[in-house]
Amino acid sequence: MSHKIQTLSGYIHEYQKSVLQPEEFWGRVAESFHWKKPWSKVLDWDFEGPDIKWFVNGKLNITENILDRHLFIMGDRPAIIWEPNEPGEEHITLTYKELYEKVCQFSNAMKAQGVGKGDRVIIYMPMVPEAAIAMLACARIGAVHSVVFAGFSASSLADRINDCDAKMVLTSDGNFRGTKKIGVKSVVDEALESCSSVEKVIVLKRTGQDVAMVSNRDLWWSDVIKGQSTECPAEEMDAEDMLFILYTSGSTGKPKGVVHTCGGYMIYTYYSFVNVFQYQTGDIYWCTADVGWITGHSYIVYGPLLAGATTLMFEGVPTYPHAGRFWEIVDKHKVNQFYTAPTAIRALEAYGLEPIEPYSLETLKVIGSVGEPINEEAWHWYHDHIGKGNCPLVDTWWQTETGGIMISALAGITPNKPAHASLPLPGIQPIIVDADGNELTGNNVQGNLCIKFPWPSIIRTTYGDHDRCKQTYFSTYKGLYFTGDGAKRDHDGYLRILGRVDDVINVSGHRMGTAEVENAINEHPKVIESAVVGFPHDVKGQGIYAFAICDMEGRTVENLSNEIIQTVSKIIGPIAKPDKVQIVPGLPKTRSGKIMRRILRKIAAGEMDQLGDTSTLLNPEVVEAIIEGSKK
């Protein structure tokens, strides 16, 4: 089953077909999968609702396409290679047959614990093969998984559990990350103090640290699988049944549960994976993301495994035990495709070339980037020193909501241009619009990035609140999906993503809503009001800059700033910690009382000469004071 584009003219041809006859195009890709019942119509859609259905009435189970289908021809081929945190610990290879058996066994274990089709299961686990097994086992029995990144706090975890009314939590005792051993089960215990829906918690032993096991609720992974069969029938799922919920931050309120469904997500993650990375049978593919993010879902687990690929999972961090660890792993496992984030590249670049020198990196054929705009400097470093100047570098633009890669070069097929995501994949119809939603055609234009036609892995809803999905993505511009990103089409017709145009900060490729961070800061009893903006950060891409009006009684600036940072870490998790906290006498406001974030963004970026007219503010004098304070 290959839908791999082989040449530039092939790309042009496929792209045209996908736009002129999208249903025929995607129907043809879908035909090569195993369906329990065929679909009656490829696509039904309306962006107003939004109401989008792909492969209407089709029945399938995604795990049959990942596991059963691959058993006979390549059951002995490695599906997952797992590289542990400690280089001295043995790595693990699971063949497709072994993965099949482990998934079936765990599916039976979950069923025995009362989980069935439609139930929500939270996965709060480190990067171990069992995390992928857990996801696939949910999919096998029709349970809806929601993976929560294991760095989120108890309160963030509790919010997600409560939002989706999860029945079960899958977790581990602890997590190895570099030199640290981090408690994981203890966070679940704290979260569950405020969750009533969870009936069972299954705990994988990873670090061996002490954990409290609550009777009648907590069970060890090794116990629940005992005696369970390694065969489990795959539940029949409608193409539009939920496959998973993944929470992501937006510009307002709490994170929302992005919903992806079975059929379209399967087709698109497969198709985009083989085409962008030009995966060939036998290649070893490695994506360094965590399964807690969409990249881990689509391009560690689902896409590669649907393609029968060998996907490498790494438990640790790029700098442990040394800054050459990534490159050591590439050589050790003979990695052919390597996919990482610009923030990791910039962090490693800071160590110079020495950590790379011991490694040949000669097996690499394709290198990729995801999560944020990659600046030209980092692009060249990655291309020259890791790709040795002869690996195509795919700069892949996409989002949690898009499910799969939308704009990217196809490695070695379509042209590479530094810092440009470049061209849309077949089936993707991006347009650039001005503030009023008018399409800007031609080259050399810049505006907001929208998509005008559905693709199979588009977001279907936000869990439990369809109106939020409509308001966030389908209401800004009528008849269009709005990405929240700005983009430019350059003089050659290549797309360059310019970053978010809403109140979302992209920190190391992770999305943080400014409102979410402000809400956390405001929980500190001494904080009266706060405003959070992003600012350029050498390694993280963007850092978090918090301005806060505080009651200073009994506090110094320094200890209050630290307390605010700790509050955010406790409420959301360490990834949301502000890089800078500035205590301010006031915040610049319009006469209607709205905070002028534009001014704060300029101050945070040190662009004091570009503040524009501040005289119409309610409190112009405060700007001077903030500028003064920012210099300290």
Residue ranges binding ligand PRX (CB under 6 A): 248, 294-295, 369-373, 395-400, 421, 483-485, 497, 499-500, 506, 509, 511
State the nearest-atom distance from the C-beta of 341 to ligand PRX, in Å: 8
> Within a 10 A sphere around the Cβ of 549, how many other Cβ atoms?
17
Whole-number Å distance between alpha carbons of 221 and 205: 7
State the nearest-atom distance from the C-beta of 434 to ligand PRX, in Å: 19
Indicate the residue among 85 and 288 with the shorter CB distance to ligand PRX: 288
State the nearest-atom distance from the C-beta of 498 to ligand PRX, in Å: 8
Whole-number Å distance between alpha carbons of 67 and 75: 9
Indicate the residue among 27 and 255 with the shorter CB distance to ligand PRX: 255
Give me the helices (H) in 307-465, please: 325-333, 342-349, 376-381
State the nearest-atom distance from the C-beta of 393 to ligand PRX, in Å: 11
Give me the helices (H) in 436-579, please: 466-469, 514-522, 557-571
Beta carbons of 496 and 488 less than 8 angstroms apart = yes
State the nearest-atom distance from the C-beta of 451 to ligand PRX, in Å: 12
Indicate the residue among 192 and 287 with the shorter CB distance to ligand PRX: 287
Amino acid at 75: G
> Within a 10 A sphere around the Cβ of 610, how many other Cβ atoms?
12
State the nearest-atom distance from the C-beta of 22 to ligand PRX, in Å: 23
State the nearest-atom distance from the C-beta of 168 to ligand PRX, in Å: 25
Indicate the residue among 271 and 547 with the shorter CB distance to ligand PRX: 271
State the nearest-atom distance from the C-beta of 153 to ligand PRX, in Å: 18
Any residues with CB less than 8 A from the CB of 341 and at least 6 apart, and which? 288, 289, 369, 370, 371, 372, 508, 509
Beta carbons of 543 and 507 less than 8 angstroms apart = yes
Among the listed residues 405, 122, 117, the one whose alpha carbon sits nearest the alpha carbon of residue 246: 122
Amino acid at 80: I
Beta carbons of 239 and 261 less than 8 angstroms apart = yes
3-state SS class at 393? strand
Indicate the residue among 303 and 373 with the shorter CB distance to ligand PRX: 373
State the nearest-atom distance from the C-beta of 129 to ligand PRX, in Å: 22
Beta carbons of 546 and 580 less than 8 angstroms apart = yes
Amino acid at 421: A
Q: Is the peptide bond before 415 cis (omega within 30 degrees of 0)?
A: no
Indicate the residue among 145 and 167 with the shorter CB distance to ligand PRX: 145
Q: Which helix or strand (DSSP H or E) is residue 221 part of?
A: helix 221-224
Indicate the residue among 366 and 622 with the shorter CB distance to ligand PRX: 366
Indicate the residue among 500 and 524 with the shorter CB distance to ligand PRX: 500
State the nearest-atom distance from the C-beta of 484 to ligand PRX, in Å: 6
Beta carbons of 359 and 328 less than 8 angstroms apart = yes
State the nearest-atom distance from the C-beta of 486 to ligand PRX, in Å: 9
State the nearest-atom distance from the C-beta of 408 to ligand PRX, in Å: 7
Indicate the residue among 136 and 421 with the shorter CB distance to ligand PRX: 421
Beta carbons of 202 and 168 less than 8 angstroms apart = yes
> Within a 10 A sphere around the Cβ of 513, how many other Cβ atoms?
24
Indicate the residue among 58 and 509 with the shorter CB distance to ligand PRX: 509
Indicate the residue among 324 and 541 with the shorter CB distance to ligand PRX: 541
Give the residue nearest to ligand PRX (CB).
Answer: 400
Beta carbons of 514 and 505 less than 8 angstroms apart = yes
Q: Which residue has the tokens 């506090």?
A: 555
Q: How far is CA 449 from CA 402, 482, 501, 591, in A?
A: 13, 7, 10, 31
Concatenated DSSP letters for 160-212?
Answer: HHHHHT-SEEEEESEEEETTEEEESHHHHHHHHTT--S--EEEEE-SS-----
State the nearest-atom distance from the C-beta of 105 to ligand PRX, in Å: 31
State the nearest-atom distance from the C-beta of 298 to ligand PRX, in Å: 8
State the nearest-atom distance from the C-beta of 421 to ligand PRX, in Å: 5
Indicate the residue among 84 and 484 with the shorter CB distance to ligand PRX: 484
The count of C-alpha atoms lying within 13 angstroms of the C-alpha of 430, restricted to the half-sphere facing its C-beta, is 31
Tokens of 461: 């809803």
Q: Which helix or strand (DSSP H or E) is residue 582 part of?
A: strand 580-583
The C-alpha torsion from 247 through 517 and 172 to 130, rounded to 10°, is 40
Indicate the residue among 98 and 372 with the shorter CB distance to ligand PRX: 372
Indicate the residue among 484 and 578 with the shorter CB distance to ligand PRX: 484
Whole-number Å distance between alpha carbons of 537 and 605: 9
Q: How far is CA 467 from CA 47, 461, 573, in A?
A: 12, 8, 28
> Within a 10 A sphere around the Cβ of 37, how many other Cβ atoms?
12
Indicate the residue among 100 and 299 with the shorter CB distance to ligand PRX: 299
